[in-house]
Amino acid sequence: MSINGRARILKNAIVALAGLVSFVACGFSGVEGKSEWTKTYTLSEGGALEIDTTNGEVDITPSDGSTVSVVAEKIAHASTEAAAKDAAAAIPIKESVSATRIQLDARMEGTFTGGDREVKFHIKAPSWAAVTINATNAEISVRDMTGDLHVETTNGQITGSGLAGTTSVETTNGEVTLDFVKIPASGITCSATNGEITVGIPKDGNARIAAEVTNGDISTENLTLHDTKDTRKSLDAVLNAGGPAIKIETTNGGIKIRGR
């Protein structure tokens, strides 16, 4: 593994530990209160959507036309129902909006705050939108989006299906499952520190695959590979005629690459 790779792993491990300590130490205790936050925007063709959040979920599916619809379920816990509802309503979501870019920021301030609060984003956006998600302690789900996708998360599962755009995914603790309807022209990059990675791609697509694992195994299924350099811990191979790079790396957990 490269020096940069080792540095990235060390950095992510430190961030993950801080997130886990916050999550465990604070806990979700007391009475639950909820507050719903809804917004609708219009995004220009080729525009971008960015979500930054701490604790909760991000779920993104396609909308009709150029509309971006957001329903954010803000949740807090306190000693009484009234206090919990007030705390939920007070959770801030910052907006930065233009015709070409929509950014929503629900990050909690401070490393050891926010353990009793969370935001669950349910978003419908144009399928072509470029999506960026930066999260800590959050489950991520992106379905049937064809634009570019960039996800970085600490502590949380990442699931993507029906994907078609250039994709970069990085997590510290959590499984990654991605399924593509086509292999993006600029490729796929996926990395994890602790978690299994499963990637599904069209079996008749063209790509160059490079996969590496430290503690775990690599397996492929239903793919025509050649020029293969295959060990238990690494795989370098050409899929059909070769093409965009598919790079997959994890430290603790297996890698599965499936053709369909």
pTM of the predicted structure, to 2 decimals: 0.87
Q: What is the pLDDT of residues 161-183, one digit of tens each?
A: 999 999 999 999 999 999 999 99
Asked if 183 contacts 223 with a C-beta cutoff of 8 angstroms, the reply is no
- Cβ-in-10-Å burial (0-12, 13-18, 19+) of 135 comes to buried
What confidence score (pLDDT) does residue 11 get?
Answer: 47
Q: Report the alpha-carbon distance of residue 147 to residue 62 in Å, rounded.
A: 11
Asked if 218 contacts 254 with a C-beta cutoff of 8 angstroms, the reply is yes
In tens digits, what is the pLDDT along the chain, a chain of 260 residues?
544 454 454 444 444 444 444 433 344 568 999 999 999 999 999 999 999 999 999 999 999 999 999 999 999 999 999 999 999 999 999 999 999 999 999 998 743 344 589 999 999 999 999 999 999 999 999 999 999 999 999 999 999 999 999 999 999 999 999 999 999 999 999 999 999 999 999 999 999 999 999 999 999 999 999 999 988 899 999 999 999 999 999 999 999 999 99
DSSP assignment, residue 7?
Answer: H
Asked if 116 contacts 76 with a C-beta cutoff of 8 angstroms, the reply is yes
